Every structure is written in C-alpha cells, then in structure tokens.
Amino acid sequence: MKSVNEQQLQMGLDTSGDVTVNPDGSPVPQAQVIRNVLAQGQLADRVGVDFFGVGEHHRPDFAVSAPDVVLAGLATSTERIHLGSAVTVLSSDDPIRVFQRFSTINALSNGRAEVVLGRGSFTESFPLFGYKLEDYDQLFADKLELFSRVASEEPFNWNPGDRNPLRNQRVYPETEGGLARWIAVGGSPESVVRAAQYKTPLMLAIIGGPASRFKPFVDLYHRANRELGNGELPVAVHSPGHIAETDAEAQEQIVEHWITNRNKIGRERGWGQASKEQFDQEIKHGSLYVGSPETVAQKIAKTVSALGVNRFDLKYSNGPLPHEYSMRSIELYGTEVILRVREILGLKDDA
C-alpha cells in the first residue's frame, strides 16, 4: 500500500440535511433547510473542498429525501467540486433509476458525480416504499448486483424472478467516462469484502470511538483486493465534526445540538442518554472532530495517517446546529483545515 505521502488526498464534506434552528432557537422550515444545503455546497466549491455529499432520509428531522435532486441543482451552480450521495439507500431504491439519476447529474456537472451506495443506517424507507425489513440484507445484495451490471454500461441480462426479465438491456443516459461509485460500510467484515468483490472503492462510516479501531477493516479490504487481482482501490472515511475560530467556541456552538441529535436517535435505538462527558470523550479520544482549524486538522491528519486513507469527509451537519455556524465551519474547513492537513502530512497543496 502506498504511504499517504504518495497518495492524492481528497478532503470532502457531507451533510444529512438535518432540520436546523435559527440562532435564536426558532425552527427553520424544511424547504429553507434544502435551500441552505444548496448554499453550503456552493460555498464548499468556492473555498476549495474536493467533494460534497448529501444524505438521504425519510423522517421529520431531516429535510433531504431526494439528494440527487439537490445534487442536480449543485451540478449547475458549482464549477469544480465533486458531488455525491451520503448515502443512497440502494436497498429500497431501483438500481436502474439510481444509475439514470446519477448519470444525469454526471452530465450536468461535466463528470463530477459520485454515487455512494449503502444499506442505510435508518430504515424508514423500507416500509415507505413497500419493502420488508427482514429482507434488509438480501435486498442490498440483489440490488448491488443489478447496479453493477447497469453501471458497466454494457448490454446485460437480468432475471431474478420478481420482475420482468431483461435481455441484452442497455440503460441511458450513457456517461462520457463512467460513473464514480463507492460502497459505504459501517464496520462489517463481510461488507468490506463485498466492496472488494465488486471492485468498488470503500467508504467507512466512523461515527464513534477511536478511528484506529477500523484499521483491520482497511487492511482486510486491501488484502481482498490483492487476492482478487483488483490492484489498489481508494478508501475514504466519513466522520462528524464542527469548526470555529477556537476550541471553546466550536464546542459551545455544537454541544447542545450534538446531544439533542444523539439522544433523539438513541431513544429509537435503545442507547443510553448522551452526556457532556460523552461529548468530551468523543472529541478527545473518539471520532468527533470539533475545535479550531488547527485542532481539527491535527486530528484529521492523525486519522489519515493511521488508516492510510485516500479521502476524509467531515459530516459538518449536526442535528439542529444553525446554518450560520455550518457556513463558517465550511469556510474554515476549505480555507484553513485542508491546507493544514496537507502541510502536516507533507503533501503538496495541489494534492
């Protein structure tokens, strides 16, 4: 495996389109949240961020249920940034339509689209679109196989028994150089190996605990690729965080919103109540990247170096954290953090 000094390190941002509040605590309508996401992506483009990802959810605390539509808007209002999902819940979608939507974004953006495929850590889309949760794993396996055939952009056959068979089928619009795609994994060895089997770059969602605990998954992925004769494929990390001028300011801005968001999801999943102590521990020893540009850059560089990854995506949206704070965080990430990370790692500024 190449060292990070020999790699091209990309630095991205992700949002789940969390429904936010204004600085005075009043709620922001979902329609405005979507417009704010557009402004955030445009700012990320201007300040030099490499990738902007938009997540998919189907619940009241997230405004974006159709990230590809938001990405299409960004495709025509940005110039250089790569645009993708974070993630597309392939299990409850139609693989052919997913490809068609993202190949359209690819056309609108002159080849800057990326699709990140996952099973989804939230399950609201399954009953909404008529799928059974007990089929969670099989749905993803079957749909990933179909998507891989479609994405080859070669004529394919498909006869799974639950839909009309396809014979020598092509799907349009065609791309001008292929569609970039990733498989998102939360920490299952089987999922890591499957990404290698499909010769697809790996996106690791590290949202709690020390990032170093994912090193065995990175090693497994590279070993599987070598055994399969795939060559070297990229690995990316997605983790939450927030940036302000100082550590104290960043923590003060996010702590209440982080705890609110963590407890809302925790109640649904049977987790214990989050606390300020847990928040502090995640910043010091876990995968919460909160602080000044220097603090966040040092921590990102440590993770990139420890895991040997090719991309780091900061999930900058944090529950109801106000849009104004996120905009400043994006600005600091693009103008200070990215340059500092590359400096710490000894990479060229144009890496």
Which residue type is seen at 198?
Y
What per-residue confidence (pLDDT) applies to 3?
40
What per-residue confidence (pLDDT) applies to 4?
42
**DSSP code at position 334:** I
CA angle 348, 213, 249 (to 5 degrees): 65
| CA pair distance 326, 181, nearest whole angstrom | 27
What per-residue confidence (pLDDT) applies to 163?
79
- Please, what sign has the CA dihedral across residues 217, 223, 227, 231? positive
Label residue 133 exposed, middle or buried (CB < 10 Å: 0-12, 13-18, 19+). Answer: exposed
What is the 3 state secondary structure string of 73-95?
Answer: HHHCCCCCCEEEECCEEHHHCCH
What per-residue confidence (pLDDT) applies to 267?
84
| CA pair distance 297, 84, nearest whole angstrom | 23
Grouping H, G, I as helix, E, B as strand and the rest as coil, residue 11 is strand
The continuous run of DSSP H or E covering 203 comes out as strand 202-205
pLDDT tens digits along 165-211:
999 999 999 999 999 999 999 879 999 999 999 999 999 999 999 99
| CA pair distance 288, 78, nearest whole angstrom | 28
What per-residue confidence (pLDDT) applies to 315?
98
Q: Enumerate residues 6+ apart whose C-beta is below 8 A from 309.
A: 4, 204, 218, 234, 235, 236, 237, 303
Domains and CATH numbers, the chain: 4-345 (3.20.20.30)
Weakly modelled stretches of the chain, pLDDT under 50: 1-6, 351
